[in-house]
Structures are given as structure tokens and as C-alpha cells.
Chain A
């Protein structure tokens, strides 16, 4: 009996959400007395070392194939076959785009319960009961599984991660498991210019209509770059085409949960909050002292973004020197 973890990579490098998945599985395995197997597509020794850093009994490594070239159904098939081979009871995946696209098929094919958006370790282990995000972060739900096998997806930046150095047994992945005729052909990918994916980002700087025109995003980008964060926007801004849809955070955009969310010139409508209220610390900058967002913020500044943001940039540069 074991736990299988999918360690997602980006150009061969482990994603931060993968450390969280590995660390989560390690804690789960300590409680259930199960072995952990981490599956990775990477030829980088660093990625293998990092898995050992966060603790895994075995590593199944595919170093001759790029993850980016594998279709979701093929990946799900290969995860299912691997899970059968190692008699996995639980399969841990990050709740990233990739994770969300493969988890349902793995759950059906392995006959497991599927718990998505997990934000904590189980409150009970037999049967498993896990706290998950619900109602667009307006509430939490506790899911109890009635089957003995589970696929669990972990909401990025929610469960934390701890190092637990260990030496893992490393085995080469079985390429036969990838013998599967996919029903999808990947034609091409168009990557965003930003290196930081919003769902994964620890810090996000976001702006709304209060910024008056798209040219004014330069200072938002500068601030975000400075703190190694991503940039986001409110719905009206993406609807007007000032910023790409992929940056729209909120109820109908994407939901994020960074450590720090800086909202500039966003009033804080309930639909916007639905996408960001999971942020650990929120800073609101708005000219209107009555902006509802201040009620949900940790730190607030009533002031003009065009004065406040440049000063913030200057101050952060000082402390970084």
C-alpha cells in the first residue's frame, strides 16, 4: 500500500505547488504508515534533489520525455497504471490547470473518490475527511470519503510545506505505460510573457479601473517584478481589453490565494472578493475611503495610486539594498 504523488514541472523544474504536494503526502504517509512514490518528468538532477529534500521514499523518474508534450488523457492513463502497479491508496496532485484536467479521469479509472481543492491535512484518517475550499472562498466544506481509495488535489499555496530530507530510491519510469492512444492532439502552446503563474504566485499586484488607462500598468508591473509577484486585474479592466483575460481575478475569472495581495484602485465588489479573499494578507489602495474593499483588507491606504505606488517601489528598493 502506498501514496502516489504527481510532481508537476515547468520546463523540467519542479513547481512550488509540487513541493506542497510532496510535503502533504509525506505527512499523510506518516499518519497512515504508507510508502510514498513521487512521479516526475525531468532530466534535472536539481529537481530530484528537491523531491528528496521534501521527503519521498521512492522517485519514479521519466527523463527522456517533456511533460509539456503529453496529452492529459495519456498522463491520466499512465498515473492510473502506475497507481495500480504500486497499489496506491491515495493519489496526491496539485490543483493546477494540469491537475484539474487529469484528476477526474484518474479517479474514475482507479475507482477512487475525488476530493478537489484540499486546503489542509485530513481532520480524520479512517475514513478520510478533508477541509476544502467552497462557495468561492466564502465558506469551507469537509468531505468524508466513503471509498478506501482517494484522489486528492491540493490548492496551491494553502497547505504549506516543510522539508524532511531523506534519501529516495530512484527508479526509471516504465515507458510502456505511455503506450496509449490519446484522443487529443496538442497543436501548439502560446505562453504568457510572465514567468509567474497567478494560481501559484506568492505575491500578486492587481489593479482596477481606478488606474484610468492601460499605459498606467507600467508601475504595477514594476512593483510586481520588484517583489517577485504576478500582475492581475479586476473584471471591468479585462472586459475593456486593458489587460488579458488570463489576469482577471474574481468569481468568473481565476481564484488566487497568494501570501500578499495588493489591490490598487479596485473597489472590492463581492464578485471580486470571491477570487481573492483567500489571500493571506490584503493591502488596499484606493482614493475612496468608503471603498468596500477596506472592510476585507489587512492594511489600507486612502490615497492616489499615482503617488503611492512610486513611493512603495522606492521604499521596497531601499529595504532590498
Chain B
């Protein structure tokens, strides 16, 4: 079983978000970068599959050398090999095309991606890869099992779960549920030691891929006005404010 987990490197969940260069660039000053939480569920699931039926796990990323510590961490958690495609992260489409080229050349059975990254929230990459490679797609996946050539997936839909069957190879856009939060693997001392001798391959793509979206500006939301405190003995006032002032009842 060949598994690839596409990894996005994102600001830590507790980061305060700021922008520079006239609000056109994300300010990386003082930001800790982590593995995208949705990708983390996928990586742990891949390791479970490896433990149960055997697999080679590759973690794959598009970006610069600042992402290497996160890839090393993924190796320490249990991936066998890391690959970084050294290209500019112009938009989701360029990233997906780079990922797809590598995935196609290397014949993976399962392609895991987080359902979205917590920075740009686009949720585009997994669907793009599936469309570019013309292979099945399980979006917002909360459970999967492999049965021979088939993969059974449980996908979250707006009012429940849809259970589907597809043939490998398949793109799985994962999230919590694929594994539980408490099951998430963290690097052990032995894992960290072993990661040092695992390969981190850097690929320099031959051709440049054009983007079709540009971010022209970022904006921060307007600050909230002061919270109106209401006495716990005065619930009628709360309800009246919600009805007449906020107009939400």
C-alpha cells in the first residue's frame, strides 16, 4: 500500500493574525508554523493503516525550506519519507497541479489531504487533485476502510453521513473522525531520532505553473463593540434586546 499525505504548513491555531506590505502579505513575524490540523488526522490514519496492513507513507508539501521543520516532525510522527516540491505557493490551483504531477508519477493508492487548511480555508486542493487525476474523491471524510481494491468511506454531509464505495486510487479529504483527537500521534524520542535518517527529498519543478487567482488585499474584521452585560435576574430584558435591538428573535 502506497499512501501519500499532502501536508500544508499553517500558523498555529492560537496565532494572532496580522498583515504587512499594505495589507497584501501575511505577517509571519513571531508566528509558529504547524502541520495543518486536518492533515494531522490524515497522517495518524495513514500510520494506523501502516500498522494494520503495512504501507509506505510519504508526506508531500509544496513550499520553501521554512516548511522543512514541519516535514521533519511528520517523519518523527511516523511517515517514511518526506518530499517538498520547491515552488511558490501562488494559489490552490498551482499547488494542486504540483501535487498532482508528483502523485501521478509515483502511483499512490490513497491520497490523503486535510479537508481544508486553517489559513486560507479554501478547501479546494483535494477536489482539484481528484479532478486533475480523474480519480474518486471522498470529501469531509470521517471514516474509511480498505477492502481489497475498494475503499469504503464515510463522508460528512449537511444533515448526516453518506457512505460510499470507490476503487483505489482515491483522494480522501479528511478531518476529525478519521481518527479521534486523543489518538493523534505525537513524535516520540525514538521517532525524532529515527526521523534524522529518513529521506527528505526536494524537487525542483521543471515548468512554472500559472495561477488564476491573486489576493489583492487582506482585511481584519471590525472589532466587536463592548459586550452588554445583563443581570441574570433580568432575563426579560435579554429577550427584549434580542427581539427589538438585535432583531434576531
Contacts from A to B (Cβ < 8 Å) = 10, 71-73, 76, 96-98, 100-105, 107-109, 113-117, 129, 131, 133-147, 183-192, 194-195, 197, 199-200, 203, 227, 235, 239, 245-246, 248, 251-253, 255, 259-260, 270-271, 274, 277, 280-281, 283-284, 294-304, 307-308, 311-312, 314-316, 319
List of A residues within 8 angstroms of B108 by Cβ: none
Residue contact B92 to A114, C-beta cutoff 8 Å: yes
Partner of A187, one of B160, B164, B212, B238: B164
Partner of A253, one of B159, B176, B224: B176
Q: What are the interface flags for B218-247 relative to A under an 8 Å C-beta threshold, 1 for contact and 0 otherwise?
A: 111100110111111001101101110010
Chain A binding surface SS class: mixed
List of A residues within 8 angstroms of B216 by Cβ: 129, 142-144
Contacts from B to A (Cβ < 8 Å) = 11, 13-14, 17, 19, 37-38, 92-93, 118-124, 126-128, 130-132, 134-137, 139-140, 142, 152, 155-167, 175-177, 180-182, 211-221, 224-225, 227-232, 235-236, 238-239, 241-243, 246, 248-249
Residue of A nearest to B115 (CB): A100
Given A284-B227, A312-B235, A239-B221 contact (CB < 8 Å): no
| A-B interface, 5 closest residue pairs, ranked by CB to CB distance from nearest | A104-B127, A303-B232, A108-B131, A260-B248, A191-B160
Residue of A nearest to B14 (CB): A270
| B93, B152, B162 interface centre (most CB from chain A within 10 Å) | B162
Partner of B132, one of A76, A108, A271, A284: A108
For the A-B complex with A138-B221, A141-B218, A299-B242 known, give 4 more contacts whose Cβ atoms are closer than 8 Å: A71-B164, A72-B139, A116-B122, A280-B246
List of A residues within 8 angstroms of B167 by Cβ: 183
| A116, A147, A227 interface centre (most CB from chain B within 10 Å) | A116
A283 to B110, CA, bound (A): 43
Residue contact A146 to B118, C-beta cutoff 8 Å: no
A315 to B240, CA, bound (A): 9
A252 to B215, CA, bound (A): 25
Residue contact B38 to A252, C-beta cutoff 8 Å: yes
List of B residues within 8 angstroms of A141 by Cβ: 120, 215, 217-219
Given A10-B159, A113-B213, A134-B182 contact (CB < 8 Å): no
List of B residues within 8 angstroms of A194 by Cβ: 159
A101 to B153, CA, bound (A): 14
Residue contact A301 to B159, C-beta cutoff 8 Å: no
Residue contact B159 to A283, C-beta cutoff 8 Å: no
Question: What are 29 A-B contacts with C-beta separation under 8 Å?
Answer: A73-B137, A98-B157, A98-B158, A103-B124, A104-B131, A136-B118, A136-B121, A141-B120, A141-B218, A142-B217, A144-B214, A144-B215, A145-B213, A146-B212, A184-B137, A200-B158, A227-B249, A252-B38, A260-B246, A274-B13, A297-B227, A298-B225, A299-B230, A301-B231, A312-B239, A314-B235, A315-B239, A319-B239, A319-B243
Given A143-B213, A144-B216, A274-B13, A97-B158 contact (CB < 8 Å): yes
Residue contact A191 to B219, C-beta cutoff 8 Å: no
Residue contact A115 to B131, C-beta cutoff 8 Å: no
Partner of B13, one of A248, A251, A297: A251
A307 to B176, CA, bound (A): 34
List of A residues within 8 angstroms of B231 by Cβ: 301
List of B residues within 8 angstroms of A270 by Cβ: 13-14
A251 to B11, CA, bound (A): 12
CB of B181, distance to nearest CB on chain A (Å):
5
Residue contact A100 to B123, C-beta cutoff 8 Å: yes
Residue of A nearest to B136 (CB): A183
CB of A85, distance to nearest CB on chain B (Å):
20
CB of B78, distance to nearest CB on chain A (Å):
20
Residue contact A105 to B166, C-beta cutoff 8 Å: no
Residue of A nearest to B228 (CB): A299
Residue contact B218 to A116, C-beta cutoff 8 Å: no
Residue of B nearest to A131 (CB): B219
Residue contact B140 to A97, C-beta cutoff 8 Å: yes
